[in-house]
Amino acid sequence: MSRTAVDIVSIVRDAGIVGAGGAGFPTHVKLGNAVDTVIANGAECEPILEADKHLMEKNPGSFIRGMEAAMEQVGARKGIIGIKNKNTAAIDAVSQVISGKPEFEIGILENSYPAGDELVLIRDVTGKTVPQGGLPFMIGVTVSNVATFKQISDALDGKVVTSRNVTIGGEVARPVTVEVPIGTPVKDLIAFAGGVTVTDYEIILGGPIMGPIGDTDDVIDKRFGGVIVLPKDHTMVRLKKEPVRITKQRAKMCCTCQECTILCPRNAIGHAISPAKMMSYSWFVDEIIRKIEAHDLDEFTKQMVFESILCCQCGVCEQYACIFGLAPNKVYAMVRDAIKRSGLKYDFSKMPQYDGAMFNYRKLPALTYARKLGLERYLGHTEFEPLGSFIPGKVRIPLLQHIGAPAKPVVKQGESVKTGDLIGEIPENGMGARVHASIHGHVEEVTNEYIVIRGAGS
């Protein structure tokens, strides 16, 4: 049945759908821009993760249906699904669904890192480059994760977001991908995967490269597609836990060899970002931050510091390019945070932009990347366990699982709820996303940060 554009936006908003690829941008807001092309991001470029791969293999029709609804809303004439060439089963499954639909095509991606970066993906499958400091809709494109489109399809059937696929991998006895309720405790998932196989370990939420360090008390939310357990002395753990003061001191070792700039994926698409240039000023990073906060920057320095906004935090500079393991990405993050605190603005049209002629020649093989980081031993196929395979006795559902303001609780302690009941509403005149109960049970605790539900049988 055809629906009006307003219907689709309202349905997506009411379902609490946000970007499932990690950013968590409210999808109903993203669908407010008219574009020519809708892209489904199925790259899943981080090692170990297989949540999106299983979705594309086992339920391709659902996310294609969600894409069709999104295309209707934004007026797009073309839909492109980005899938890595190594995922042949996913390519075959999606190909069957889109057969006879000339508006759809599969964008075959090399097994490179970071193929799933939004701007890199757009360049790969359309040849277009998003303007520096700009957004995809400015070139007639919008991108969402395949899981997000699957949630749109579910919303058309009246289902709200209450679960997501998660890969539990690394140092666990039984690596597995399973669909679990939102708010499931990480410790319960690790137990479901057979427990940890090393004595001293750390947990990474999301992918092992870009995901943050977490712990067993954390919970799954709408954005995280992975729980990765690594030894405490693993390279990735060491890099993520490096103190800021050490990062600043080590940055002064930079020999300005330019390798970080040469291998930067955002530089490769033509953006005027040069990590090596930022590192050459690392001796003065504290002074630069002070000047940002005081709005006391000359034009040259202003352009340099606003390069930090162009950084996608993929980690290539630190983890692959630099022979000393220095961290331009972390220096950029310090500067970017100072810019956000200061409220300073910049006209990115003043920056030079290049054609990115070397884009196709500067891609990093994902397997080589995984080997360099000591992650190859954890690569391998996981079995998929559908929703219902594991239901926790208790969930803690965050009210902020998205970009914007936290949802406001609309339930009280002691109330009974069913899966799908609204428990958190978007603040009035604010940008955010609705939050729903992910299991049947009783509300055990309500705060401004989360709502705890104990299962009916617990």
What CATH number is given for 162-234+378-391 in this structure?
A: 3.10.20.600
Does residue 4 register a pLDDT over 90? Answer: no
Instruction: Encode pLDDT of 362-390 as tens digits.
Output: 999 999 999 999 999 999 999 999 999 99
CA distance 11 to 1: 14
How far is C-alpha 10 from the chain's CA centre?
A: 24
CA distance 51 to 42: 10
Closest CA to 294 of 336, 334, 343: 343
Give the model's confidence band at 1: pLDDT under 50 very low, under 70 low, under 90 confident, else very high: very low
Residues 109-127: what's their mean pLDDT?
A: 97
CA distance 175 to 264: 32
**β 422-425/408-409 pair status:** antiparallel
Task: Kindly report whether the global pTM for this prediction surpasses the value 0.85.
Answer: yes
Give the model's confidence band at 186: pLDDT under 50 very low, under 70 low, under 90 confident, else very high: very high
Residues 162-185: what's their mean pLDDT?
A: 98
Output the pLDDT for position 3.
Answer: 56
CB 119 within 8 A of CB 135: no
Burial of 326 (0-12, 13-18, 19+ CB in 10 A): buried
What DSSP designation does 63 have?
H
- Identify the sign of the CA torsion 241, 245, 250, 252: positive
CB 78 within 8 A of CB 98: no
- pLDDT over 70, % of the chain: 98
Interhelix angle 146-156/5-15, nearest 10 degrees: 110
Does residue 444 register a pLDDT over 50? Answer: yes
Give the model's confidence band at 429: pLDDT under 50 very low, under 70 low, under 90 confident, else very high: confident
Closest CA to 118 of 138, 97, 92, 88: 138
Give the model's confidence band at 300: pLDDT under 50 very low, under 70 low, under 90 confident, else very high: confident
Closest CA to 274 of 289, 282, 263: 263
With respect to CATH, is domain 5-156 assigned 3.40.50.11540? yes
Q: Which CATH architecture has domain 393-458?
A: Beta Barrel (2.40)
Does residue 5 register a pLDDT over 60? Answer: no
Which two three-digit tokens encode residue 427? 């603040």
**β 450-455/441-446 pair status:** antiparallel
Which two three-digit tokens encode residue 225? 């597609």
Residues with Cβ within 8 Å of 159's Cβ and at least 6 positions away in sequence, in order, are: 15, 420
Does residue 185 register a pLDDT over 60? Answer: yes
CA distance 242 to 325: 11
CA distance 159 to 151: 8
Residues with Cβ within 8 Å of 361's Cβ and at least 6 positions away in sequence, in order, are: none
CA distance 98 to 365: 29
Instruction: Encode pLDDT of 256-287 as tens digits.
Output: 999 999 999 999 999 999 999 999 988 899 99
Question: What does the domain layout of the chain look like in residue ranges?
Answer: 5-156, 162-234+378-391, 244-371, 393-458
Residues with Cβ within 8 Å of 165's Cβ and at least 6 positions away in sequence, in order, are: 51, 52, 54, 55, 147, 177, 178, 179, 225, 384
Closest CA to 47 of 82, 18, 81, 84: 84
Closest CA to 41 of 18, 69, 19: 19
Residues 155-165: what's their mean pLDDT?
A: 97
CA distance 243 to 367: 29
State the chain's mean pLDDT as an integer: 95
- Identify the sign of the CA torsion 9, 11, 14, 17: negative
SS3 454: strand
For the chain, how far is it from start to end, CA to CA, in angstroms?
A: 41
Instruction: Encode pLDDT of 52-83 as tens digits.
Output: 999 999 999 999 999 999 999 999 999 999 99
Give the model's confidence band at 21: pLDDT under 50 very low, under 70 low, under 90 confident, else very high: confident
